[in-house]
Amino acid sequence: MSKLVVISNRTADPDESRSGGLAVALWSTLKQSGGTWIGWDGRVCSHDNPEMTCRRAEGVDFFTTELTGQEYKNFYIGYANSVLWPIFHNRTDLAEHDPEFKLSYERTIRRVASSCFMRISAGDVVWVHDYQMITCGTELRKKGIKNSIGFFLHIPFPPPELIRCIPDHAWLITSLLSYDLVGFQTEKDFQNFQKYILNYTDAELIGEKTFFFKGRKIRAGVFPIGIDTGEILQALESERSRELNERFRRERTGELIVGVDRLDYSKGLPQRIHSIREFFARCPDKKKAVSLLQIAAPSREKVTAYEKLSEEMNYLSGKINGDLGDMHWSPVSYVHRNVERDDLPVIYRNSRVGLVTPLCDGMNLVAKEYVASQDPDDPGVLILSEFAGAAHQLADALLVNPFDAGATARAIEKALNMPLEERKSRHTSLMRSILDHDVHWWCGEFLNSLKEQEIWMVA
């Protein structure tokens, strides 16, 4: 019997809660076919010969591997997060080009692909995820895998001019043509991909989003990822959430603006603090009546750019509080640690404004989670960056340019003063889009398209 095989940088942890868009959808789909999930377990070993370990949970086989110290340094911190991540997020200035990074990327993907090869049977459908694993398809094809293989890029695909900043970029991007189906978050991402493929490879466009390369047909598609709204509603009904909600109501004074992000330079966090400062300059009467709760979970702390960003955020949040706050009120509450995921819907529901202003983002599920957490009878207002992939679906949010502090400040003012009926109307429209394109829709759309590609190829 054929099964689904998922290959990603990280797998879900069978011992922990699986809440979260990708994990929820993939776990559910894998259970239907008795599937397999292969990836890194998040650990770094002290030797140079890590092996795959297997665990079975709820009918799903998890094959995980540790990384060696060199793989962690040069593959994960190096090529994946100091070359690909910044360039794919339009930050070529932050990329670090060390030849050892690429060599380690090749070796690590080759090792992982060898382990995957032994666990893929005839008829299995293989789904590879995200930028860390781009060349996995090529390595599987080299080993003779003829199965249907799909790839989904969760982050933006940048313009060809930026891709060309990557040394040996043709090797990297041409490897995407080893897949049968390549999925993107937005039409813009696909258009950037198509421009690169037609200008820098020998592939031909033979139909809508369909290419021919070295005897193979490859399709591309747009599949915007969604969220599990049921998970959010369930979290809001828990006893823990009810207690946290009551605490908010007892202790809260004034209106709350909330931002929830990983500490990452793509999220526009310093620009957000500047916008809050501009807002209080425009609306001095809102001092002591409004505050920002900015949660920034630690991320990739060994990457130099993240260390600098952490220092900058500490300075900016301290500066605005020192300049504008007093003993009884701070304009910004900056929380630099992880917050329980099940607590976030309550935090979202108790905030009047959701401030989601990345400088560049593949989708941004926080925007959708904020909307889904609202009380439909008294919803908050989503302010969303026009540079987030979610902006293509959530047009009834207040869309802003996060580089324009004044425009974002005006949007905050508008959101806080928005009449109830307008808030309800916008929320209804946003929820309709979120429900129609949830994470289960996304998963089904991609796999159905991959199956259609398989039938077409056989025919």
The residue length of the chain stands at 459
Collapsing DSSP to helix, strand or coil, 61 comes out as: strand
Gap between the Cα atoms of 151 and 182, Å rounded: 5
Q: Is 154 a catalytic residue?
A: yes
Gap between the Cα atoms of 198 and 204, Å rounded: 7
Cβ count within 10 A of residue 38: 26
Contact 291, 330 (CB under 8 A): yes
Gap between the Cα atoms of 453 and 207, Å rounded: 13
Collapsing DSSP to helix, strand or coil, 320 comes out as: helix
Q: Which of 361, 396, 427, 440 is catalytic?
A: 361
First to last CA, the chain: 21
Q: Is 93 a catalytic residue?
A: no
Gap between the Cα atoms of 372 and 28, Å rounded: 21
Cβ count within 10 A of residue 372: 26
Q: Dihedral (C-alpha) 71, 160, 156, 353: value to the nearest 10 degrees?
A: 130
Q: Which of 13, 61, 98, 154 is catalytic?
A: 154
What is the 3-class SS of 238-303, one letter each residue?
CHHHHHHHHHHHHHCCCEEEEEEEECCHHHCHHHHHHHHHHHHHHCHHHCCCEEEEEEEECCCCCC
**Residue the block writes with tokens 């260390």:** 307
**Which ranges constitute the DSSP H helices of 118-238?**
136-142, 160-163, 169-174, 187-200, 229-236
Which residues are known catalytic residues? 154, 361
